[in-house]
Amino acid sequence: MPFKCCVPNCNGNYKNGPKVATFSFPKNEEMERKWLHAICRKNFPATNNSKVCELHFRLSEIERETSHYVESTGKLLTSHPRLIEDAVPSQFPNCSRYMTTNDAPKRLAPETKRMKLEHVMIEQAIERSIETEQVFNEKIGFSNLDELYAKLKERIDLQKWIVSRRDNILYILYIEDISYPNIKCCVRVSEDFTLRLFYGSRVVTKLNEKFNVPFIVSSVIEIKDILHQVLISMNKKYQDCSAMENINACIDILKSLLVILPQRKPVIEFLL
């Protein structure tokens, strides 16, 4: 008759339980204490009839039966399942979960619990922050001019700016309409997202200390910021440009007078 398993709540080799291989307690006292501790039967008097079944060991800890032929006797010898050295019960499928880990759950100190809770809350906050950043980047980012065109029309002031698309170029125009329509400023974004800036017919290479033009844009926010800076500086820069053009025009007129009125050369040279 097979030995029954002595582990609490295990029905190995019982009438209604599975038929399993069983193993005797170790002869070594230290190992026996480990077994008794593992199965939560510290005061259990283990005897030769006390067995622990295979259900409580890892598969890697059990060496299954093998057979070999002995030529000298002509007999086939069979060895039954046995445990590897230092194997300790660790699997308890029908018992409380903590028994499988060998250690009962320990109560955490209040400070440890607080720190653990803070750590969990920080991780959750980071996850939410990452998700929020991803959503935000999806709203302001773009992968082609069509996406940029659509998002610009949602985010910029269309009362001030006109967004236009032609071929592989996106134009953002500021038109001054006083006596006649005049494109006062043009922001040009090419297919590779290079942004260029023009005041009238003049190419702008430096908007302010923050922006050197041209540059590669990667978000709608950058373009919106550029447009804001343009509105602040456009009038001053445009006026400076117009004043310089007027001065250059006057110089050209004076130079032409040198040819027409050579007798006035001293006066004209003085003015120059």
pLDDT of 170-211, one tens digit each?
999 998 887 788 888 999 999 999 999 998 888 988 887 777
Assess whether 152 and 128 both reside in one domain.
Answer: no
Joined tokens for residue 169: 């170029």
Assess whether 157 and 92 both reside in one domain.
Answer: no
29 inside domain: yes
Q: Which domain does 185 fall in, by range?
A: 145-242
pLDDT of 122-156, one tens digit each?
888 877 777 777 777 778 888 899 999 999 988 88
Assess whether 221 and 153 both reside in one domain.
Answer: yes
Question: Which residues make Cβ contacts (< 8 Å) with residue 7, sequence separation at least 6?
Answer: 39, 41, 52, 53, 56, 89, 92, 95
pLDDT-wise least confident of 12-16, 75-79, 230-234, 246-250: 75-79
8 inside domain: no
Q: Which of 182, 187, 190 is nearest to 207 (CA)?
A: 187
65 inside domain: yes
* Domains identified in the chain, total number: 3
